[in-house]
Amino acid sequence: MPKLKTSISWGIGLNLVKMLAIYLVMVLLFHRPDYFIHFHGDTMSYFEPIIHLLEQGSYSPDYRMPGYGFLFYGFFLISHSNEISFFLIILLQFILTGAAYGLLAQMVFELTGSRILYALSFLLLEVNYYLLFDSYLSTESIATSLLILISYLCFRPGRHPIILGLALCWLIFLKSIFCLLFIPLGVYLWQKKLPKRFFLLLLLPLVLIEGSWVLRNAIKFHAFVPLTYQTFYPEGLYGGIYGFQSVQEIIRAYGGSHQFWRMDSEAAWYFSGGFAEPVFIRGIPYPNFKESQLIQPSPDFFTSQMNLDSLHNLKRALTSVYLTTVTIKNPQNIPIECKDELAYIRSRSPQYVASIQKEKPFLFYVEANVSRIKNTFFTTYFFDNVFRNPAIDARLNPFLITSLQAFIYLINGMMWFFSSFALLLTLYFGLCWKDPNLLTWCAWLNAYVLFLYLFVFKQAEERYFCVLYPIWILISLTVLHRLLSYLKRKWN
């Protein structure tokens, strides 16, 4: 049997090789030597409070908990450079992910006894739909590693309670949606008949660290604020468009995608696709879409209070706000400049949502949720988007383009299989409340994340589910091995 240290070493080594390979591809094919320090829409929301802390001595604005930003704080104190600090965060993400992959591969081997599946698990983890997420300055990578660590400690119940408590606490500070994970985790560990000392040590980091954060918030806000002062950061910050949160509720009511930066989402229509980043060919920007490609609202969604004309009026108002956003010199004046448009959007949107809920309850409560599940599990956007850039044709020969397309089909297919199979297994193992095992924990974890994101917050965005992909591989490989062993015994 491979030793745990060996598995972790293999995981870190393979992930660092992947890091080098990604960098070479980005430099040689896409001319992006800055790839490992590039920002996306949410990046600065994690680091601005830390920069404010370094420069002015206070953590503000505090729409995010400091679970990710504190890494920048520590690395900046060492390097005194933003770029070096960002790169060190990316390097740490690759190392932590590699170590986590080693833990997961070790669990696969101990559950199946198969060296083939042990090696296959490394391959499936390294080459998958989310393979670029370690390269992003975002919380998904470290959150994924922490969930694997927590799952490994559930596989070894009774060991390292302080580490388990620290991992859970860090996970909550990274993604506050995991603040209730202690409930299924507590139920699982309680049935393992562990001593009280274990639970006291487990809770110690949570009480000390979370308690300090609650005390800090009480001093600042004069209120009990266990997580953040509000669920989402205000409109107009970090790429958010004023008024879109209201329109987003309409899109969610009929099960559409709220990802307005994607041309294959229902949300793009409300901006006439204006939010999409242009494609640059030899420095000249070109739109990467056509108006006819945008998804128009279906008549199936219309009600007595909402039809295509009323949504066109809403679209014109939101597009006007967007155009003002990209041209105005002082963004703080947008609520004043777009006063009438925003009043119209915010008054009509709740009416339209209520009309869908009242007149089309099956659409609102059933079809919309099914659509979100489908959009989450059967997405192709992440890598298909590569081929939306016509400049790729000029850089790759036909053989490389065909090979890359085949690779994309492969990882999309893997995503569809493991997500669907894991969903079925979640329904089966999730009901095993008595004497739960690791597969039960994986099912509960899967159900927890899917339920909150899809049914409570109604966020069908694929990046939120990258934290589950390794868990899907773990549960799928284990069950497939059991099925094959059963069939083999049956045939013999």
Q: Is 466 exposed, middle or buried (CB count within 10 Å of its CB: 0-12, 13-18, 19+)? A: buried
CB neighbour list of residue 133: distance below 8 Å, 6 or more residues apart: 140, 141, 144, 463, 466
DSSP labels, 267-306: GGGGGTTTTSPPEEETTEEE-S--GGGS-PPPGGG--SS-
Q: In this structure, what are the phi and psi dihedrals at residue 307, rounded to the nearest 5 degrees?
A: -130, -175
Contact predicate 478/108, CB 8 Å: yes
Residue 155 · residue 438 · CB < 8 Å = yes
3-state class (DSSP) for residue 377 = helix
User: Of 397, 415, 432, which Cα lies nearest the Cα of 476?
Assistant: 415
> Token pair of 453, please?
């994101």
pLDDT given for residue 388 in this prediction: 54
Contact 59, 66 (CB under 8 A): yes
What's residue 166's pLDDT?
96
| 442: nearest Cα among 119, 216, 115, 148 | 148
DSSP secondary structure letters along 402-470:
HHHHHHHHHHHHHHHHHHHHHHHHHHHHTT--SS--HHHHHHHHHHHHHIIIIIIS----GGGGTTTHH
Peptide bond preceding 234 in cis form (omega within 30 of 0): no
User: Residue 13 has what pLDDT?
Assistant: 95
Residue 256 in tokens: 């559409």
Please name which of 165, 144, 155 lies closest in space to residue 100, comparing C-alpha atoms: 144
CA nearest 318: which of 244, 268, 234, 262? Answer: 244
Report the alpha-carbon distance of residue 373 to residue 379 in Å, rounded. Answer: 10
pLDDT attached to residue 294: 79
Q: 62-80: buried (b, 16+ CB within 10 Å) or exposed (e) per residue?
A: bbbbbbbbbbbbebbeeee
Q: Give the position of tokens 């000029």.
A: 394
Are 104 and 121 contacting, i.e. CB atoms less than 8 angstroms apart? yes
Residue (of 276, 293, 295, 294) closest to 285 by Cα position = 276
Integer Cα distance of 308 and 125 in angstroms? 45
- DSSP-derived pairing of the beta strands 279-281 and 284-286: antiparallel
Angle between helices 182-190 and 140-155 (to 10 degrees): 10
Rounded to 5 degrees, what are φ and ψ at 181? -65, -20
Rounded CA-CA distance 363/359 in Å is 9
The amino acid that residue 222 corresponds to is: H
Q: Are 472 and 376 in contact (CB under 8 A)?
A: no
- Closest by CA to 141, choosing from 263, 43, 239, 242, is 43
Per-residue pLDDT tens listing for the chain (492 residues): 788 899 999 999 999 999 999 888 888 777 778 888 877 777 888 898 999 999 998 888 888 899 999 999 999 999 999 999 999 999 999 999 999 999 999 999 999 999 999 999 999 999 887 878 888 899 999 999 999 999 999 999 888 999 999 999 999 999 999 999 999 999 999 998 899 999 999 999 999 999 999 999 898 888 888 888 766 666 656 556 778 888 889 999 998 888 777 777 888 888 764 554 544 444 544 445 566 777 888 899 999 999 999 998 998 888 888 777 777 777 778 888 888 889 999 999 999 999 999 999 999 999 999 988 888 777 766 555 555 555 555 666 777 777 777 777 787 788 888 888 888 888 888 887 778 889 999 999 999 999 998 888 888 777 888 899 999 999 999 999 998 888 888 887
